[in-house]
Amino acid sequence: MLIIKRTLAALLVIFGVSVAVFVLTHVIPGDPIEVMLGERAQAADRAALAAAYGLDRSLPEQMLHYYQGLLTLDLGESFHYHRPVVELIAERLPATAELAVAAMVVSLLVALILGMVSAWYRNSWIDDGARVLSLLGVSIPNFWLGPMLILAGAVMLGWFPVSGRQGFSSLVLPAITLGTALAAIVARMLRNSLLEIAEADFVRTARAKGLSEWTILWRHSLRNALLPVVTLVGLQIGAILGGSVIVETVFSWPGVGRLTVEAIQSRDYPLVQGCVLLIAVLYVVINLLTDVAYGLIDPRIRLSGSAGAN
């Protein structure tokens, strides 16, 4: 019952996002017909092109046509590429998924190391250094960090390509850029959770049994400390998807984020709507999966959900 309620709420969110994006793309300044034909195009040519893409209809009629196509997964045809939006997104989605997964792996590895080391050496200079690194990671924006990494890793050292998608080496800098902020946030959350759990009764019991501090930290404290971290990571997936727009533009990464920017610049209404709708759907689905994962880690969540359903 709980999953059904959250699924219905997720569908409502997706519908709201689709309406908002549709209205905003048609209200913001800029004429796609002018972008395609130029300012000096003849009125007859402009009218013919507008009729071909249905832009001569009223906004409610265009919206009705849009949702009729959406029910059959038809997102329309791109004004700029003259191809179905679904095909364009399908071509770019693997690149975005690859970057998002790599950024997540980088962020979780760095966060686990920083968080555990900071909690292990709490109130020491190592702890202070880890917290400073976390603060820097949260504070530095992607649009500044990306060019700095290109300057250092690609231009000065020559270890990585400057841009493009040319294998594993070209994935390193974008993944670090995209995963840095999440790593800093998760590291701080993990440190605080570990310090709170360090005073719990089951930790005292483990110490009384003679277990080493490292065993207690790794086997007992870490699993319970991951509860708020899992929720935080799920919520931050949206930040990764949103940040991919900037990172893909900086590194010329051929993903959905860069495609979104190109669509906005060319006033490509169907493509903008399709890209934003995809990001919204992914964000909502990942949040649902986060709720499920939360229940798997802590059985009390499943028990409370079942009790509420009964």
- For the stretch 3-47, pLDDT in tens is 677 778 778 888 888 888 888 887 777 667 776 766 666 777 777
Domain holding 287: CATH number? 1.10.3720.10
Calpha distance 23→53 (Å, rounded): 17
> Nearest to residue 254, comparing CAs of 96, 143, 105, 138?
96
Among the listed ranges 162-171, 179-188, 197-206, 274-283, which one has the minimum average pLDDT value? 197-206
Q: What is the mean pLDDT of residues 153-177?
A: 85
Calpha distance 198→120 (Å, rounded): 10
Check whether residue 30 and residue 126 sit in a common domain.
Answer: no
Calpha distance 4→9 (Å, rounded): 9
Calpha distance 245→144 (Å, rounded): 14
- Phi then psi dihedrals of residue 84, to 5 deg: -60, 140
Check whether residue 11 and residue 117 sit in a common domain.
Answer: no
Whether the CB-CB separation of 267 and 79 falls below 8 Å is answered with: yes
- Where among 44, 71, 98 does a domain terminate? 71
pLDDT per residue as tens digits for the range 213-272: 667 776 667 777 777 777 777 777 777 877 788 888 888 888 888 898 888 888 888 888
Check whether residue 133 and residue 169 sit in a common domain.
Answer: yes
Whether the CB-CB separation of 123 and 110 falls below 8 Å is answered with: no
Does any domain span residue 79?
Answer: no
Cα of 310 vs its chain's centroid, Å: 35
Whether the CB-CB separation of 111 and 123 falls below 8 Å is answered with: no
Report percent pLDDT > 70 for the chain.
86
Which residues are CB-neighbours of 144 under 8 A, at least 6 positions away? none
Does any domain span residue 77?
Answer: no
Six token digits for residue 74: 């038809």
Which pLDDT score, from 0 to 100, does residue 292 have?
Answer: 66
Q: What is the mean pLDDT of residues 125-132?
A: 84
- Where among 20, 42, 71 does a domain terminate? 71
Check whether residue 94 and residue 202 sit in a common domain.
Answer: yes
How many domains does the structure of the chain reveal? Answer: 2
pLDDT at 117 over 50: yes
Which residues are CB-neighbours of 287 under 8 A, at least 6 positions away? 10, 234, 235, 237
Residue 237 structural domain = 88-309
Check whether residue 117 and residue 22 sit in a common domain.
Answer: no
Check whether residue 156 and residue 66 sit in a common domain.
Answer: no
Beta bridge partners of 84: 77
Of the pLDDT bands very low, low, confident and very high (cuts 50, 70, 90), residue 297 is low
Calculate the average pLDDT of the chain: 79
Check whether residue 164 and residue 284 sit in a common domain.
Answer: yes
Check whether residue 151 and residue 267 sit in a common domain.
Answer: yes
Of the pLDDT bands very low, low, confident and very high (cuts 50, 70, 90), residue 307 is very low
